[in-house]
Structure 1
Amino acid sequence: MARMSRPSKKTIANEVLREVLPRARAAAAGAAPAGKQEVGAKIRRIRKERGLTLQQVAARSGLAVSTVSKAERGQIALSYEKVLQLGGALDIDMTRLFMAGDAPSDPPAVQPTVVKDRFEDVQRYETDQYEYSVLCGAFPGKKMQPLVALINAREARDFSETIRHPGQEFVMVLSGRVRILFENGEVVELGRHEAAYFDSGVGHVYVSLSKQPAQVVSVCC
């Protein structure tokens, strides 16, 4: 009887990878992206609940009336900065705009001690430059905005304007390599598991230096 050879460690490892990688990629894909129409409908509903006109929201947010109107109709994808501005104008945590389904616009009466999230269950939001998932949106009155983002942009000219928002920002690269360019001329490059902390009031953009879109975790406050 012919003796069967035992598979090598390399062969076993390859078999495991063939089994595990498809599941890992599916999990990384997460929930379906939040469409512009879905987010726009939520903005309109909350504006109506607040009894505000387009002009009032525009004045409060500092955005053009046409921008608010197009956002409500799902004609444009809003940048992170503009979502923050709209959230402030509507007196709502921006993360509730991206929660799956018809998330309540007002916080619960009882403050929770802790809220747990799982990345693959969080709804994503896509713009031309980034694709991001805002985490722990169910915690009311958050003082930080944690998110995971894919950086699709490759050059600064991919952006029509730099992004700035009051406060500070922490970022760590999960995969790939990114370059952060600031409007004052400063530049920082980060590889996997490298981190940076900066003044987010200084205009900035992220671009991916990787063959694939880079993935980062960021916390804004």
Structure 2
Amino acid sequence: MDIKLKQIAERLSGLRDALDLSEEDCATACEISLKQYQEYESGEVDIPVSFLYRFSSVYNIELTTLLTGDNPRMQHYSITRKGTGPIVARRKEYQYQSINESFINKAAQPFLVTVSPENKIDQSNGYRHAGQEFNLVLEGRLQIVLNGKSLILDEGDSIWFDSSLPHCMTALNEREAKFLAMIFKIPE
């Protein structure tokens, strides 16, 4: 059993309880099935960062609170030293490392994402989440399938897109790829 996954699931359940919401309320608000929501709360299945981001946005909770149990406090600036941000994703295809968990009321959520060349993903089912996303390739070569269109990005290339469109990334040339991902909230 993955302890971190179980802890995230427990925080998810605890926050839902503290907000006096039912599992059905949360599933509906996050646009997933009740069964899927219950699986996330069980701590037995991987919880996609896109779901955690949606939950935190819908209920106006800092993503950091769900991921680490800590509440961000920094208001003027926040520094994350190389290699110190918590690993937050629960998907085998990608490793997400939060690179700013302590700044409060962020307009965007930054991640350092590593894509292993061994992990091939089903490009017909992309991930979706609210907002907009900016990706800057730091190392390697990356294929992004965005709404069915295949795009190739090399080191130094970037893309900004509507993240409600299905999207997925694959490392190319049998080499790991790393990119900076910034997920932006869109004011309602």
Q: TM-score, normalised by structure 1?
A: 0.73
Partner of 2:86: 123
Return the offset for 1:167.
2.5
Partner of 2:48: 79
Return the offset for 1:34.
7.4
Could you say what secondary structure the match of 2:105 adopts? coil
* Paired residues of 1:172 and 1:193 also in contact (CA < 8 A): yes
Q: Which of 8, 13, 18 is matched with 1:39 structurally? A: 8
Instruction: State how far apart, in whole Å, the 1-side matches of 2:133 and 2:57 are.
Output: 18
Instruction: Kindly report which structure 2 residues correspond to 1:23-38, keeping only aligned pairs within 5 A, or say none.
Output: 35-38=4-7
Partner of 2:177: 214
Instruction: Kindly report which structure 2 residues correspond to 1:54-203, keeping only aligned pairs within 5 A, or say none.
Output: 54-99=23-68, 102-104=69-71, 112-125=75-88, 126-152=90-116, 154-157=119-122, 161-183=125-147, 185-203=148-166
Unpaired runs of 5+ residues, structure 1, are 1-32
Say if 1:67 and 1:160 are closer, same or farther in 2 by CA, change over 3 A.
Answer: farther
Could you say what secondary structure the match of 1:201 adopts? coil
Q: Which amino acid aligns with 1:127?
A: R
* Paired residues of 2:64 and 2:70 also in contact (CA < 8 A): no
Instruction: State how far apart, in whole Å, the 2-side matches of 1:197 and 1:88 are.
Output: 20
In terms of fraction of residues, the more helix-rich structure is 1
Deviations 1:148-187 (A, max 9, x none): 0111365442x6721122332111111111100122x322
Q: TM-score, normalised by structure 2?
A: 0.84
Q: How many residues align?
A: 181
Computing the radius of gyration from Cα coordinates, the structure with the larger value is 1
Q: Which amino acid aligns with 1:123?
A: P
Q: Which of 159, 163, 168 is matched with 1:205 structurally? A: 168
Unpaired runs of 5+ residues, structure 2, are none
Taking only the aligned residue pairs, the percentage that are identical comes to 20
Instruction: State how far apart, in whole Å, the 2-side matches of 1:64 and 1:156 are.
Output: 22
Deviations 1:174-206 (A, max 9, x none): 1111100122x3221111222222222221111
* Paired residues of 2:141 and 2:171 also in contact (CA < 8 A): yes
* Paired residues of 2:54 and 2:130 also in contact (CA < 8 A): no
